[in-house]
């Protein structure tokens, strides 16, 4: 009986270590092997409170329109095919309900709302990478700098996101060519 309990305890400990290590390994694979896209950010509604230990991100390409006879339901899973525009920022090549083939640059997302006007479908897309997690003491200063940068049209802010087979990881947020963490470090000194 003791042997069985000891074996069960060892198996349970192994599982508890395996799950987080597997998640870390998966994110590192995306960062290492995924294609990096730069997503231009846009201002966040100032009335939206800062929640927890992350910077909330909103993207310009979240608003998409295309000639289509389809319509989308709220919360419907969609696949967003990506490509780079001439300035090197991510743009939507197409959206589809069917999973693209492996090797395609796509993101799994959901539709927030959509409406049709004549033959054009307008969609607001909810990307799964809208939170940039940081140290809890640095996150409020980072959020403030991020908002300032997005409200000033002379400044450029974007997120660098690695994409691999529909999975994503935010590498960094860049403001005026510098990582957000550098801005926060400068503010604190």
**DSSP count for the chain of H helices, then E strands:** 3, 11
- Are residues 124 and 148 both part of a single domain? yes
- Are residues 136 and 183 both part of a single domain? yes
- Are residues 14 and 58 both part of a single domain? no
* Domain that includes residue 8, residue range: 1-33
- The tokens for 106 are 């796509």
- Are residues 26 and 43 both part of a single domain? no
Average pLDDT over residues 59-71: 80
pTM: 0.71
- Are residues 8 and 50 both part of a single domain? no
Q: Give the CA count within 13 Å in the CB-facing half-sphere of 124.
A: 7
pLDDT in tens, 79-135: 999 999 998 899 999 888 899 988 889 999 998 877 777 887 788 889 988 888 777
* pLDDT for 102: 83
pLDDT interval class at 47 (50, 70, 90):
very low
* pLDDT for 46: 44
Number of domains in the chain: 2
* pLDDT for 188: 65
- Mean pLDDT taken over the chain: 81
* pLDDT for 48: 44
Average pLDDT over residues 70-75: 78
Orientation of helix 180-188 relative to helix 139-151, angle to 10°? 110
- Are residues 123 and 110 both part of a single domain? yes
- Are residues 51 and 143 both part of a single domain? yes
As a whole number of angstroms, the distance between CA 74 and CA 90 comes to 24
- Are residues 165 and 81 both part of a single domain? yes
- Are residues 86 and 176 both part of a single domain? yes
pLDDT in tens, 130-177: 888 777 777 777 888 888 888 888 888 888 999 988 889 888 888 888
- Are residues 39 and 29 both part of a single domain? no
């Amino acid at each position: 009986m003791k042997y069985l309990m000891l074996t069960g305890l060892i198996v349970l400990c192994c599982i508890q270590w395996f799950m987080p290590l597997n998640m870390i390994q998966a994110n590192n694979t995306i960062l290492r092997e995924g294609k990096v896209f730069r997503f231009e950010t846009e201002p966040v509604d100032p009335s939206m409170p800062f929640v927890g230990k992350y910077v909330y991100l909103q993207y310009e390409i979240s608003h998409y329109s295309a000639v289509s006879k389809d319509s989308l339901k709220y919360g419907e899973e969609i696949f967003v095919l990506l490509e780079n525009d001439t300035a090197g920022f991510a743009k939507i090549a197409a959206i589809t309900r069917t999973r693209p083939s492996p090797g395609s640059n796509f993101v799994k997302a959901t539709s927030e709302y959509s409406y049709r006007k004549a033959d054009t479908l307008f969609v607001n897309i909810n990307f799964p990478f809208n939170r940039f997690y940081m140290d809890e003491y640095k996150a409020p200063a980072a959020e403030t700098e991020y908002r300032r940068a997005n409200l000033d049209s002379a400044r450029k802010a974007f997120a660098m996101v690695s994409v691999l087979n529909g999975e994503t990881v935010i590498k960094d947020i860049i403001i005026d060519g510098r990582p957000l963490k550098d801005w926060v470090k400068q503010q604190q000194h």
